[in-house]
């Protein structure tokens, strides 16, 4: 039996290595193919909706005064410039360097409009190759066929469709009360903002997709090492497609669903949380490292040095351009304050009211056993605060206007934890 276990472990390690290497090579090939597409039609389709870009400007808020309603138009415009880049003559070099043309100062939105309209003014090239920018394998083909308005509507249909599939998955599993926590998480993320923003929508769609897979194929994933590979691939997908906005939702929200479906004991659940987290991190880190290696090979540029410098900036507790040496408390307050508005507070009151009513109706009592059962959810609930602590002012203070969405994890895990503690969580099949 021990021999069989060792063989299974060796087989899993070989699978893991194969998936990592395969993902790096596949990601590379897909990106190069995307950069081989002609860009003139893309430029024309962007020009059709240039007025939309002009109207929305930089960091558009569809609800004024709400940072939660703010899209990352700067990054979206950067990706549009990547997509429209006319080419240096080498698709491989362009895929690795992610170049874009800028007119004058670092204003992506203005440059998008000028480039789309064929402005012949002076430009300079900026490369941003330390990320994969995998969403370009979707954006470039879409721009060949559609303008930005079309793409936004297509994105809305996909997001709403996946959300419907996920909700049906909860109902199929009879996780009716747990939908309360998931609803809270979705509102915290703000699905309308996800529709408006391309780079946000990629992470949101991936999260919904990975959650749906888990809800519909839990039994198949339980076989062998399938769940371990699921979280490994999850991490790979998020590093390939995301722009470092709030990728941890891709790991944590499916993990909460896993905890809801699992019949394992608390100790085993916590053990799985740690292992799944490590595998997600391995997929994320190794495939990201693969990008730097390939870029170094094909362009000669040392992205390792740039990445280390940026990592120091993002994890630093030093001064920002807003305030001198903000503390951890400053970072936490900055992110939590995004929800200190009446609509969110009223939603919180309603959700807590639902929990209280459920508790009263069932005459629930809090016991030590229930508190222990809630521990796996507590660990997930604390995850965003751990990120705000580790990733310092460069990430969680300066970029609070999108990092606050990590609190969607705490909302989902926290409400599920309260249902568990109050005994209102039922047995599910």
Question: Averaging pLDDT over each range in 9-13, 92-96, 315-319, which range is the top one?
Answer: 92-96
Predicted local distance difference test score (pLDDT) of residue 152 = 96
Q: How far apart are CA 202 and CA 108, in angstroms?
A: 20
Residues 6+ apart with CB under 8 A from 55: none
At residue 49, φ and ψ (nearest 5 deg) are -115, 30
Q: What is the structure's pLDDT at 2? A: 66
Better-scored residue on pLDDT, 387 or 360? 387
Question: Quick one: which of 266, 232, 278 has its CA closest to 21?
Answer: 232
Q: Report the share of the chain in percent with pLDDT over 90.
A: 76
Per cent of the chain over pLDDT 70 is 95
Q: What is the pLDDT of residue 298?
A: 94
DSSP state of 90: -
> Region 270-295: what's the mean pLDDT?
97
* Mean pLDDT score across all residues of the chain: 91
How would residue 116 be classed by pLDDT, with cut points 50, 70 and 90? very high
Q: Which two tokens stand for residue 317?
A: 């507790």
Q: Is the pLDDT score of 340 beyond 90?
A: yes
Mean pLDDT of 357-375: 86
Write the DSSP assignment of 218-282 as a string of letters. HHHHTSTTHHHHHHHHHHHHHHHH--SSSTTHHHHHHHHHHHHH----HHHHHHHHHHHHHHHHH
Mean pLDDT over residues 120-132, rounded?
A: 91
Listed by start position, the domains of the chain span 33-137, 152-307+318-421
Question: Stretch 244-259: mean pLDDT, rounded?
Answer: 96
Counting every residue, how long is the chain?
A: 429
Between residues 196 and 9, which one has the greater pLDDT?
A: 196
- pLDDT of residue 254 exceeding 90, the answer is yes
Can you tell me the mean pLDDT for 240-254? 94
């Amino acid at each position: 039996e021990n021999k069989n276990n060792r063989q299974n472990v060796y087989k899993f390690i070989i699978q893991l290595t194969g998936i990592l290497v395969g993902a790096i090579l596949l990601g590379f090939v897909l990106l190069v193919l995307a950069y081989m597409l002609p860009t003139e039609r893309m430029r024309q389709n962007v020009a059709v909706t240039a007025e939309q870009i002009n109207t929305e400007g930089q960091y558009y808020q569809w609800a004024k005064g709400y940072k939660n309603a703010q899209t990352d138009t700067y990054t979206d415009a950067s990706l549009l410039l990547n997509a429209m880049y006319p080419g240096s003559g080498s698709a491989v070099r362009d895929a690795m360097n992610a170049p874009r043309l800028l007119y004058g100062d670092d204003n992506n939105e203005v440059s998008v409009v000028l480039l789309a309209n064929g402005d012949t003014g002076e430009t300079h090239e900026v490369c941003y190759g330390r990320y994969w920018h995998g969403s370009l394998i979707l954006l470039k083909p879409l721009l060949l066929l559609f303008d930005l308005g079309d793409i936004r509507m297509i994105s809305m249909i996909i997001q709403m469709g996946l959300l419907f599939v996920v909700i049906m998955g909860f109902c199929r599993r009879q996780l009716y009360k747990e939908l309360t926590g998931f609803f809270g998480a979705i509102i915290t993320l703000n699905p309308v903002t996800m529709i408006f923003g391309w780079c946000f929508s990629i992470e949101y769609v991936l999260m919904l997709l990975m959650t749906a897979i888990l809800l519909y194929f839990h039994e198949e994933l339980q076989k062998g090492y399938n769940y371990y590979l699921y979280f490994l691939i999850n991490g790979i997908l998020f590093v390939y497609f995301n722009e470092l906005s709030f990728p941890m939702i891709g790991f944590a929200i499916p993990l909460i669903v896993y905890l809801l479906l699992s019949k394992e004991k608390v100790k085993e659940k916590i053990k799985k949380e740690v292992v799944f987290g490590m595998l997600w991190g391995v997929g994320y880190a190794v495939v990201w490292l693969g990008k730097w290696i390939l870029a170094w090979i094909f362009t000669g540029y040392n992205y390792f040095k740039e990445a280390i410098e940026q990592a120091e900036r993002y994890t630093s507790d030093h001064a920002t351009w807003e305030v001198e040496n903000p503390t951890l408390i400053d970072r936490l307050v900055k992110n939590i304050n995004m929800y200190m508005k009446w609509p969110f507070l009223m939603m919180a009151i309603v959700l807590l009211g639902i929990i209280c009513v459920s508790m009263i109706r069932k005459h629930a009592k809090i016991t030590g056993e229930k508190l222990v059962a809630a521990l796996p959810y507590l660990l997930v609930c604390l995850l965003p605060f751990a990120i705000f602590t580790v990733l310092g002012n460069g990430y969680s203070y300066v970029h609070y206007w999108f990092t606050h969405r990590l609190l969607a994890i705490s909302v989902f895990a926290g409400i599920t934890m309260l249902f568990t503690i109050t005994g209102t969580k039922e047995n599910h099949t």
